[in-house]
Structure 1
Amino acid sequence: MSVGTAPEQTSAPATEQTQDTRGPLSPGWAAFLVALAGTAAALLYYDVPAGDLIKFAGYTLLAGTLPGMLIWRALRGGAGVLALDAAFGTVVGFVVELPVYLLARACGVPLAVLAWPVLTLVLFSALPGLRRHWRGSGRRLPVGVSWTVAIVMLYCVGRAMPQTFRSTGVIDPHRLGMILDFPFQFALVGLFKNGVALDVPWVEGVGLSYHWYVYPHGAAASWITGIEPEMLILRLLVVPMIAAFLLVLVALAHRLSGRWWAGALAVVLAFAGTAISPFAWDDRPMYNGVITEHFWQSPTQTYAVLLCATALYVLAGLFEPGPRRIAAWCTFAALTGVMAGAKATFMPILVCGLLLAVGVRLLRTRKLGAEAIALAITLAWFGFAQLVLYSGGAQGSTVDPLQTVKWTALGYAVLGMPDPANRYLPLVTLAATAVLAMAISWAGLAAVARRAFRWNPMVHVLLGIGLSGTVATWVFSHPGLSQGYFARSASPFLAVLSAVGLAALVPAGRKAPRRLIAGAAALGVVALVAVQFTAGRLRPPAPGTWSTLHAVAPYLLLTVILIAVAGALAVAGRRMRLDRRLTVAVMAVPFLAASIATGVIGSRGLWEPATAGHANRYPELNAVMPAGAAEAGRWLRAHSATGDLVATNSHCRFGANGCDSRDFWLAAYSERQVLVEGWSYTEPAFAAGGLWDHTLAASPFWDPALLAANDEVFYRPTAANTAAFTRAHGVRWLVAVGTTPDPARGVKAELHASPDLAQFATPRFRAGDITVYEVR
């Protein structure tokens, strides 16, 4: 068995054919070019220089996708569909790049990471046995699938423009309004640009207990292209990941169903059809696993979901009848190994999926199969991640069921402002309603009535992933609501399962009643819109003003209407003498259409009315770092050694009430180790409090003596304390935030560093409100 051979299908024996095009271009290229042009236009509009765009595209193609594609073709035994080979090649590039870059960086020659793509291209050009993998198969994606992928790619970019790009400008003065987690991510890219020391860069001596594997990729990209980490994280790094993920989802659904249209449907469901919302005022009143806006905000999630989808594709091949190739198992082990350090939410739900598959096989046959081998590999990597990468810590996660409900729109409406009190009847009711909203898009699971579908081990794996991720969202709690990533990690694979189930209900070779299907989809959309603009039109006037019934009634009404529509379609199918399976498929269509329409219609409110000029791109936002942050940090990076230690009086996010310690700008822009900057997102900070103690942003620093000695130098400097402090800790630079107190801007008087510091350290650079001093 090779990694990517064509599957033997149990749910749909006859597979659809790809388009065979031996010429240089096929009709599907138009879709690719439209998606490429639209994505590039959006990035250029939001201040990505054309030069950076070209350099990053070249890096992605030549140092990742192309050599990775050649390796993928060698693993699978030949060329497949070009677009899918490119997507899988991109993943292979990520997997190979990680250990090569870490080794090169540890040896002090980070650009040696280029050795692997160069060596790959040379070997595949020079060796006759490998040279054939340059030749394609001539097979292309069907045109409809190509256009579906292109449109969904543009949909993702279109949603990111108002949700992420507008609030994360990459040029002054708008940089200061960026989403506050982004400097944290820049800092981690900078950490791996300059070494492989696994301590957080904003507090010296604190271990990096985090899923950090995507950041060496960012560091390698920055070294090779010269692009700043800021530009990579805010705009460029995840673009090829999203494109590859779309194509891998298509490949996974096709492998399991034999139908290309199932792949297209899986992509649409995953990106727009995660759950229904019967409300006209909010398309996400409850957490539901929607992934689109987190592609840029959480590159760890985007990187990991691509790896997981590819691992599942390889796993599906391992479950097929035929000889087992060691290359396929090695590929699965490599993918799960990188996934273990890519995002903490994926390994537990993959373990759950494989446990379900192993359990079902044991109950049916009392034997172990390939599922047990895959489970053993996954458990080994899961244990490595928990013990080594995360040091056995929980990073603030606790088992505290149903707390997630309190932080949703309907939770506010019914329960009021979140507090520790548990009113279990509304909590349970609202959580069940949220699951119902997601379950509407799982209508394709009606195929469990088919024996071939319900006993397919990949169905068990995907179902275990989906259900465990959904349940974990409501069972676990985290001060930053990170439990929502469980649902976001699971929802794409539930979409694949629903699409594959629908394909299993459509008999192979049977002409589907297209008019009836189109009518069923239209009825689902009409039902959604009708409820949204009647029972779902009014929004809660204030927190705690709605009853539980008021919140859930629109969901129940929409569900009843959809069930009635499905019943009418069943009658119509019987009169048309449709096959029973095909009738059930038609009955599932209005549920899926209503879910997809929720995502599409919900996007209408993202864009404010257009205004002229730059203001439309970057509205006024509250600053999260002091003026001059980027300039001062970059000056320090250019004029200091990578091992220099820096001290600062900036510990609290600029403009926040109280001390919000999510302050990472100095580590981000200087790429240097800071003695104490902010201390959020560290295991000691999480251990300082619980869910209701504002642990994420306002936990106390665990070494008050160190913090006091640090701040004494900036606010009450003397020759003695400056010399003693810098000598004791090996501090080489002092970065003082010397803002003038201004309550209107949220600038507190205690942040005004003393000008007397210039008597005991040498001022070397000033930008905005920041002065950089060199220790004498």
Structure 2
Amino acid sequence: MTVLAEKIAPAPLAPAPERPPGRRFRPSAGWLPFLLVVAAVALTLDHYGVAPAETATFAGYTLFANTLPGLLIWRSVRGRADYLPLDAALGTVAGFIVELPLYMLVRQLDVPYAIGVWPLMVLVLFAVVPRLRRHWRGGGRRLPLGTSWTVAVSFLWILALVAFSTLRSNGLSEPLNGAMSVDFPFQFALAGEFKHPVPLNTPWVTGIGLNYHWYVYAHAAAASWLTGIEPQTLILRLLPLPMVAAFLLALVAAVRQITGRFWPGNVAVLLMLAGTSVNPFSWTGSPFLSGIITTNLFVSPTQTYAALFFAAVVLHLAVLFQLDRKALRRPMPWAVLTVLMGALAGAKATFIPMVLCGLLLAVVLRGVFTRRLGPELPVLGITLLWFAFAQFVLYGSGSQGAVVNPFQTVKWSPVGQAVMGLPDEADQWPPMLALTGFGILATAFGWAGMAGLLRRGWRSNPIVHVMLGFAAAGTGGMWLVAHPGLSQTYFAQSATPYLAMASAVGLAALIPAGRRAPRKFIWLGVYGVTAAVAGLLVIRSTAGADAPASMFGGFPLRSVVMAYTWTVSLVAVVGVTVALIAWRVRLPRRLTVAVLALTVLSTAVASGLIGSTRYLATSATAQEPARLSTFPRGALEAGRWLRDHSGPRDVVATNSHCRQNIHGCDSRDFWLAAYSERQIVVEGWSYTEPAFASGGLWDGTLSRSPFWDQALLAENDALFYVPTAENVAAFTTAHNVRWLVAVDWTQDPTDIGRTRFLNADPALADFATERFRSGAITVYEVSPAPSESLR
């Protein structure tokens, strides 16, 4: 425990006042935002099919198995208590990090419930060891009310957006669950893979290594064991909630660490959620793919998990870069950094390369400004080691379909499709280059606050360099890299929070701390913001009002040029007017720059708020369209029966390879692996390195690639379509298959594509024992040992 007790020197912030002896805890107004969020979450989950008992169980798991023990560890590592919500957020990060290797250990030992021991040990240890007991006490300070409400309202905003999109359209029970986003069964299958002590393979094609950022699925598996909640419910409803809340608080904590103030953190959260780009069009909510993070906060748990970790990394780097030489010789800051970078490396593949870009920029600029080396260099070395580990161990040196192919992303944007038509391989270079330029320009409106980073003291700040390099790599990655599933947009989504943070930090550099802003600054800011937003609304109702006659081609490029030309001209006129007034009233130069930055930022924030509000209003009144299930009837029941009556190492064969109700064979078929938590010889084969390697960007490799081993597929399907005693025995012995899952497609009258499917031959029952039937699915067991009983 001497390692845990060693302190990291705190950043130069005001020390926490000691709580007077005997003072009791009293609730304050700061608890109201928290209680409002809890109530909203409970009501939303209940409305979307989560039982109150499950919600309470998951809340208890998060608090006692992650956040509370992690909070104690975090406080002991930093050597002091901070504001309780910030400690809870960073404690959640610590809890996730400790849980990961311990769960992988108990999983391999086949005692998964033992993962519940470590939180108990931590709580007991911190209760009985005198040197650690003090970490139960808080710092005696309350989070500013404005920050509490900013985080709460931001969380509720995200929850509302998610409720009317992800939660509404992805059901938990049949038949609604069969119409869910294709990525969710893929995620359930990965969580199931980590619930059992089996070799890490791709669950839907056995024998293919799992080269993926899988850390969050180990967390999902641990949560499932301790709570008894199905992976489907965890991933679709519960798992992202504490991550999102902790992420918002961690961003506020990081900005405060950098600036010493809370309000820039509030601004950063606002810019991240609503200030990603300016939109002069009234016919689309987002003309370009600009890195809006709410798009995938619930759809991609890997993105949310990694975003939380990187917020902690930025916070710790800010602390590290503020330490003196003596403190830098201590091992604890470097140990914490190493652990955080290790967690980030396997959380999401896009992050570590972007971190390297940020650190390279910091190392170069350190040399330019000081002509000597600083702590950025060893940080870069540690990150390079984790990058090598991730690339060669976790990801197997594969690219997962990503290629360097500049400017393809714009083809998929609403404006790009309106101008150039449906995306295809042909490169229309003039509109592609022009639209890419406008896409970057639209995003740049949200960067206006960075002007303050040019001030002395800030332009040489290494944490600013890291954020700028990270964000530039993310923005560049979206425009330079292409992927069949648009995964390059994750680069921009990863960068968005740090563009927002850099802009907010720049504003803080322009506005003096500890002084009340002059009244003329406030009034001039109100004028600039009002004039810019009013002008934007006029442009949206004039130059940007005419919608394309067709969403795929026919929209003139000059309409895009004119809309953005008017927008830039408007902001320029308002900016010049503001500057002249500021000169006339003798406003200090940096406050003048701050007003100009606020004027520009207001157009991006107004665009985001208008687009999101419109989406919420439309979604709240719209009726959810009926969608056909892509699972065969009885999928959930049959899959879970097989899970409950088979062993973790049992292998399954099936004739289900393509998603139902989809014309052509869409091989993103994962339902059996998802609900059975078993290895399938061949189910679908998408989202694997061999599938991506079978074609290029425009070859349909994401969903319609051919299976690379046609002989294996033929042998597999022969069991179901032309079964004989010989081929059943030979195949099941060769591939250690214990169970056969046959789908009779004619039993599902809703299947619009069943002409491409064959129906399993009833003669299969002569060579395997029927064990379960549900809807269109029959489960057979192959020659069980006489002494073996069903579980």
Superposed displacement of residue 759, structure 1: 2.0
Superposed displacement of residue 518, structure 1: 3.1
Corresponding residue number in structure 2 for 1:438:
443
Question: 1:625 and 1:758 mapped to 2: Cα distance?
Answer: 23
- Residues 502-581 of structure 1: matches in 2 within 5 Å? 502-512=507-517, 513-542=521-550, 543-581=552-590
Corresponding residue number in structure 2 for 1:485:
490
Q: In 1, are the aligned partners of 2:742 and 2:779 still within 8 Å (CA)?
A: yes
Q: 1:19 to 1:245 in 2, by over 3 A?
A: farther
Give the alignment partner of residue 47 of structure 2, picking from 20, 36, 45.
45
Give the alignment partner of residue 698 of structure 1, picking from 704, 707, 711.
704
Deviations 1:351-399 (A, max 9, x none): 0000000001112222211100111111110110000001111111111
TM-score using structure 1 length? 0.96
Are 2:418 and 1:413 aligned? yes
Superposed displacement of residue 742, structure 1: 5.1
Corresponding residue number in structure 1 for 2:789:
none
Aligned-residue CA RMSD (Å): 2.0
Q: 1:175 to 1:375 in 2, by over 3 A?
A: same
Corresponding residue number in structure 1 for 2:210:
208
Are 2:605 and 1:600 aligned? no
Are 2:360 and 1:355 aligned? yes
Amino acid at match of 2:723: P
Partner of 2:515: helix, strand, or coil?
coil
Q: In 1, are the aligned partners of 2:66 and 2:119 still within 8 Å (CA)?
A: yes
TM-score using structure 2 length? 0.94
Partner of 1:622: helix, strand, or coil?
coil
Corresponding residue number in structure 1 for 2:763:
756
Corresponding residue number in structure 1 for 2:679:
673
Amino acid at match of 1:684: P
Amino acid at match of 2:539: V
Question: 1:141 and 1:528 mapped to 2: Cα distance?
Answer: 35
Question: 1:16 and 1:427 mapped to 2: Cα distance?
Answer: 54
Amino acid at match of 1:189: A
Q: 1:159 to 1:743 in 2, by over 3 A?
A: closer
Give the alignment partner of residue 303 of structure 1, picking from 297, 302, 305.
305
Corresponding residue number in structure 2 for 1:7:
12
Are 2:115 and 1:110 aligned? no
Corresponding residue number in structure 1 for 2:401:
396
Corresponding residue number in structure 1 for 2:63:
61
Corresponding residue number in structure 1 for 2:786:
none
Corresponding residue number in structure 2 for 1:11:
none
Q: In 2, are the aligned partners of 1:183 and 1:665 still within 8 Å (CA)?
A: yes
Q: In 2, are the aligned partners of 1:163 and 1:293 still within 8 Å (CA)?
A: no
Corresponding residue number in structure 1 for 2:387:
382
Are 2:446 and 1:456 aligned? no
Corresponding residue number in structure 2 for 1:429:
434
Amino acid at match of 1:94: F
Corresponding residue number in structure 1 for 2:721:
715
Question: 1:713 and 1:144 mapped to 2: Cα distance?
Answer: 65
- Residues 170-209 of structure 1: matches in 2 within 5 Å? 170-195=172-197, 197-209=199-211
Superposed displacement of residue 609, structure 1: 6.2
Q: 1:536 to 1:586 in 2, by over 3 A?
A: same
Superposed displacement of residue 16, structure 1: 13
Deviations 1:81-138 (A, max 9, x none): 1110000000000110000100111111111112211111011000000000001111
Are 2:791 and 1:773 aligned? no
Corresponding residue number in structure 2 for 1:120:
122
Partner of 1:446: helix, strand, or coil?
helix
Please identify, of 677-686 and 32-41, the stretch whose mean Cα deviation from structure 2 is larger.
32-41
Amino acid at match of 1:118: L
Q: 1:41 to 1:524 in 2, by over 3 A?
A: farther
Q: In 2, are the aligned partners of 1:59 and 1:225 still within 8 Å (CA)?
A: yes
Q: 1:70 to 1:15 in 2, by over 3 A?
A: closer
Question: 1:218 and 1:534 mapped to 2: Cα distance?
Answer: 49
Superposed displacement of residue 15, structure 1: 11
Question: 2:484 and 2:332 mapped to 1: Cα distance?
Answer: 42
Corresponding residue number in structure 2 for 1:683:
689
- Residues 331-350 of structure 1: matches in 2 within 5 Å? 331-350=336-355
Q: 1:19 to 1:233 in 2, by over 3 A?
A: farther
Partner of 1:772: helix, strand, or coil?
strand
Question: 2:473 and 2:120 mapped to 1: Cα distance?
Answer: 42
Q: Which ranges of structure 2 fall in alignment gaps of 5 or more residues? A: 1-5, 784-791
Question: 1:16 and 1:71 mapped to 2: Cα distance?
Answer: 19
Question: 1:82 and 1:620 mapped to 2: Cα distance?
Answer: 45
Superposed displacement of residue 249, structure 1: 0.6
Superposed displacement of residue 509, structure 1: 3.0
Q: 1:277 to 1:472 in 2, by over 3 A?
A: same
Give the alignment partner of residue 736 of structure 1, picking from 733, 742, 754.
742
Deviations 1:225-284 (A, max 9, x none): 000000000010010000000001111111111221100000111112111111112122
Partner of 1:263: helix, strand, or coil?
helix
Deviations 1:297-346 (A, max 9, x none): 00000000110010010001110142223212111111110110010000
Partner of 2:778: helix, strand, or coil?
strand
Please identify, of 111-120 and 715-724, the stretch whose mean Cα deviation from structure 2 is larger.
715-724
Corresponding residue number in structure 1 for 2:3:
none
Q: 1:693 to 1:611 in 2, by over 3 A?
A: closer
Q: In 2, are the aligned partners of 1:353 and 1:460 still within 8 Å (CA)?
A: yes
Q: 1:390 to 1:611 in 2, by over 3 A?
A: closer
Please identify, of 126-135 and 744-753, the stretch whose mean Cα deviation from structure 2 is larger.
744-753
Superposed displacement of residue 17, structure 1: 11
Please identify, of 31-40 and 227-236, the stretch whose mean Cα deviation from structure 2 is larger.
31-40
Question: 2:528 and 2:38 mapped to 1: Cα distance?
Answer: 33
Q: In 2, are the aligned partners of 1:401 and 1:477 still within 8 Å (CA)?
A: yes
Superposed displacement of residue 627, structure 1: 1.4
Superposed displacement of residue 42, structure 1: 1.2
Corresponding residue number in structure 1 for 2:261:
259
Superposed displacement of residue 507, structure 1: 1.7
Q: In 1, are the aligned partners of 2:16 and 2:139 still within 8 Å (CA)?
A: no
Question: 1:501 and 1:401 mapped to 2: Cα distance?
Answer: 30
Please identify, of 601-610 and 384-393, the stretch whose mean Cα deviation from structure 2 is larger.
601-610
Superposed displacement of residue 572, structure 1: 2.3
Corresponding residue number in structure 2 for 1:278:
280
Corresponding residue number in structure 2 for 1:73:
75
Superposed displacement of residue 743, structure 1: 7.8
Amino acid at match of 1:83: P
Partner of 1:479: helix, strand, or coil?
coil
Q: 1:460 to 1:239 in 2, by over 3 A?
A: same
Question: 2:765 and 2:430 mapped to 1: Cα distance?
Answer: 62
Corresponding residue number in structure 2 for 1:222:
224
Q: In 1, are the aligned partners of 2:9 and 2:323 still within 8 Å (CA)?
A: no
Corresponding residue number in structure 2 for 1:316:
318
Amino acid at match of 1:663: D
Question: 2:174 and 2:18 mapped to 1: Cα distance?
Answer: 49
Question: 2:732 and 2:782 mapped to 1: Cα distance?
Answer: 8
Question: 2:318 and 2:638 mapped to 1: Cα distance?
Answer: 51
Partner of 1:589: helix, strand, or coil?
helix
Superposed displacement of residue 697, structure 1: 0.4
Q: In 2, are the aligned partners of 1:396 and 1:686 still within 8 Å (CA)?
A: yes
